Amino acid sequence: MLDPKLLRTDLENIATALAKRGFKLDTGQLSALEEQRKGIQVKTQELQNQRNTRSKSIGQAKARGEDIQPLLAEVSQLGDDLKAAEEEQNKVLAQINAIASAIPNLMDESVPHGDSEDDNVEIKRWGTPREFDFEVKDHVDLGAALDKGLDFESGAKLAGTRFAVMRGQVAKLHRALAQFMLDVHTEEHGYQEMYVPYLVNQDSLYGTGQLPKFGDDLFNTELANKQFSLIPTAEVPLTNLVRDEIVEEAELPIKMAAHSPCFRSEAGSYGRDIRGLIRQHQFDKVEMVQLVKPETSMAALEELTGHAEKILEKLELPYRTVVLCTGDIGFSSSKTFDLEVWLPAQNTYREISSCSNMGDFQARRMQARFRNSETNKPELLHTLNGSGLAVGRTLVAILENYQQADGSIKVPTVLQPYMKGLTQLG
């Protein structure tokens, strides 16, 4: 959420900045509500002052032996008027908050201008795509040939489209990938391994920006008349660990990593990537989260992105890094780097990780703060998150990049210890 002070004092400049990401802010509506709020606030203060003055007069009149009944009636009426004004003020504030909660983050000045993903800017390329001397197969056919190691028919039977069953060596490789990623991030990159709930409450989803805007993308359930949602990413529970908390500056940066399933309805994406594992309702991901001081957050974004890149490099998978443009950046992000891995069957790079600096946008929604050691006052944290990596998409990349002419799949060298020395699938 943006700083309410900015919305009150710098509305036109905020609207101009938001327009760069294609968001049209109704400044007239907000200005009108703000004028209404200020008017009610003045009225409320006047009523409070009048009631306080009349209340003092009651004691004085009583001491003089005067009839205090008219004063009591006047104070009672002022109390009713004050309650009505406060209720009116709360309604206006609720309208302002509803608008504010749907406003996206302001972008960093370094974010390139563009209208869509076609305008994202490549800043790095690593590795050379392999040249094949046989006809390349995609991961769906490769997985099916490995004793139905990837089985989408059974997934559809059990749950519907966009679900999969994994068997045998493919399931083992999928598990190995998650363990490998966690080991690298915890042993080499300094993250604390975490295990988090897969169901979260509405406050958590609001805190990281999924609600109210992205409610349609959630899978929801209810328990004891309370609504919960399956996590769309471990970012939600990890980041919300500091909701309504004040951490000491000496504890920063806080770096956490978790492997979890993720659940997304993919609302509005039907017809896209319907074949295979690229866009599933349920998928696994290793998520990295950093909580840092404001002045270090952009350096932390570079670091976090490098941690995701290191996984691809250890797996020897060609990739490129792009910075998202103004027309493609996410709702809560101030700046985002995407990593795109090479998929031979599609003859293109596809997203496998998204690393973002949220600035104080999420922290303000969560009231997540740290205590400044110099001023001893609490300040908003900056939050960052990134995939390190999406496990299913990494599995896709390995199946396609490491395929052999006979349909077998070589196991990347760094994964062989996790596969009990197995060097190939099939």
Active-site positions read 264, 279, 351, 354, 393
The reply, when asked if residue 15 is annotated as ligand binding, is: no
DSSP 351: E
State the pairing for strand pair 254-263/226-230.
Answer: unpaired
C-alpha pair distances (Å), 349 with each of 177, 285, 330, 338, 389: 20, 19, 20, 11, 15
Encoded tokens for 409: 């799949």
Q: Does residue 329 contact residue 336 with C-beta atoms inside 8 Å?
A: yes
96 in a labelled binding site: no
Q: Is 332 annotated as a binding residue?
A: no
DSSP string, 274-322: -STTSS-SEEEEEEEEEEE-GGGHHHHHHHHHHHHHHHHHHTT--EEEE
C-alpha distances out from residue 237 to 182, 203, 216, 258, 391, Å: 17, 11, 19, 10, 19
Nearest CA among 295, 288, 207, 296 for reference residue 255: 288
Residues in the chain: 426
CA distance 421 to 309: 25
Is 8 annotated for ligand binding?
A: no
351 is in an annotated binding site: yes
Measured over the CA atoms of residue 123, residue 124, residue 130 and residue 131, the dihedral's sign is positive
352 annotated to a ligand binding site: yes
Angle (CA) 322 253 294, round 5°: 70
Q: Is 233 annotated as a binding residue?
A: yes
Smallest Cα–Cα separation from 163: which of 271, 264, 285? 264
User: What is the rounded CA–CA span in Å between residue 200 and residue 245?
Assistant: 18
Q: Binding site annotation covers 363?
A: no
Query: Hey, what long-range contacts does 226-230 have (CB within 8 A, 24 or more apart)?
Result: 226/201, 227/201, 227/202, 228/199, 228/200, 228/201, 229/199, 229/200, 229/202, 229/205, 230/198, 230/199, 230/263
Determine whether the annotation assigns residue 135 to a binding site: no
Cα distance between residue 176 and residue 315, in whole Å: 12
Question: Does the annotation flag 154 for ligand binding?
Answer: no
Rounded to whole angstroms, what are the CA distances from 125 to 1, 135, 227, 304, 320? 34, 25, 44, 17, 4
What 3-state class would DSSP assign to 185? helix
269 is in an annotated binding site: no
CA nearest 103: which of 332, 355, 329?
332
264 annotated to bind ligand: yes
Residues flagged as binding site: 233-235, 264-266, 287, 351-354, 387
Residues flagged as binding site for ATP: 264-266, 351-354
Residues flagged as binding site for L-serine: 233-235, 287, 387
